[in-house]
Amino acid sequence: MGQLVAIVSQKGGVGKTATAVNLGACLSAIKRRVLLIGMDPQGGLERSFGLDSSKDRPGLFEVLSEQASPADVVYRCHERLPRLDLIPINVASVAEEARLVEILANNAGRLRRVAERIRPAYDFILVDCPSRLDTPTQAALAVADSYLVPVQCEYSSMATVGNVLRAALEVRKNANPKLGIFGFLLTMADKRARFTIKVIREVRQYLKTHAFRTIIPRDPRVAEVPNRQQPVVAFDMESPGSKAYISLAREILGRSAPGQEQWT
């Protein structure tokens, strides 16, 4: 039965979408069946694979508004990654975004039913949430087993971590008592930046074993993903970003063993 992991943060540009795409690809490369679900109306996840919001092709929006069934909206991501599937959010206008939020707020059972239908076919389901902690993120947390929080290695990060923990606690109290922490992931680490080391130290001190050992470095190859429309492992296996996401996938699969230290 698939583990459903919501990738969340209050801040934009911290690597949520990059982590969904690249961690998903690495888990699938190590033979796990992975489904990525777009929950951000901006559609960054589907664009990372060259898909645009299109009304010729249904997505999560059509499923939640009861115009399509979950089986109709699952797409293959990449020809060389046969175990990596995608459900695009497929929101094409402000009106559709408002309608989506209304459905998520008032018909929580619909997303839950979608999740239950697709769960058996996958080992991991990664939900790429928007950079806010309101309705779409809360809806994802309400159906998730756990949540993953990318934390960018910069000064303001710790403040927003506290907000995510509080939002998750609220969902746990009101809607999903089994919601757990999948992990906090340090992203865009830059060896040359003085504060990177400070943020790493603080995150580890504060979040202890909830922080992944693997750290994702800032890597221009990862930033190329949206243009190349494929995960970084598909075009540069040897880049630092690829190696880090492979290491993260291995750390996740071997949780009982300590994760590989990527940063000293």
Ligand X SMILES: Nc1ncnc2c1ncn2[C@@H]1O[C@H](COP(=O)(O)OP(=O)(O)O)[C@@H](O)[C@H]1O
| Interface ranges with Mg ion (CB under 5 A) | 16-17, 44
DSSP for 121-142, written as a single string? G-SEEEEE--SSSSHHHHHHHH
| Two structure tokens written together for 50 | 């060259």
Indicate the residue among 210 and 228 with the shorter CB distance to ligand X.
228
Amino acid of residue 10: Q
Indicate the residue among 44 and 241 with the shorter CB distance to Mg ion.
44
Number of residues binding to ligand X, judged by CB under 6 A: 20
15, interface contact from ligand X, Mg ion, none, CB < 5-8 Å by kind: ligand X
Residues 180-199 binding ligand X (CB under 6 A) are 187-188
Q: How far is the CB of 10 from Mg ion (least distance, A)?
A: 12
Residue carrying structure tokens 């209050």: 10
DSSP β-bridge partners for residue 4: 125
Cα angle value 180/181/183 (rounded, 5°) = 155
Q: What is the x/- site pattern for ligand X, positions 198-237, by CB under 6 A? A: ------------------x-xx--xx-xx-----------
Indicate the residue among 44 and 88 with the shorter CB distance to Mg ion.
44
Question: Cβ of 228: how many Cβ atoms within 10 Å?
Answer: 14
Indicate the residue among 19 and 262 with the shorter CB distance to Mg ion.
19
Examine residue 17 and tell whether it contacts ligand X (CB under 6 A).
yes
DSSP 8-state class, residue 209: G
HSE-CB of 258 using CA atoms within 13 angstroms: 5
Residues engaged in binding ligand X (CB under 6 A): 9, 12-18, 44, 131, 187-188, 216, 218-219, 222-223, 225-226, 241
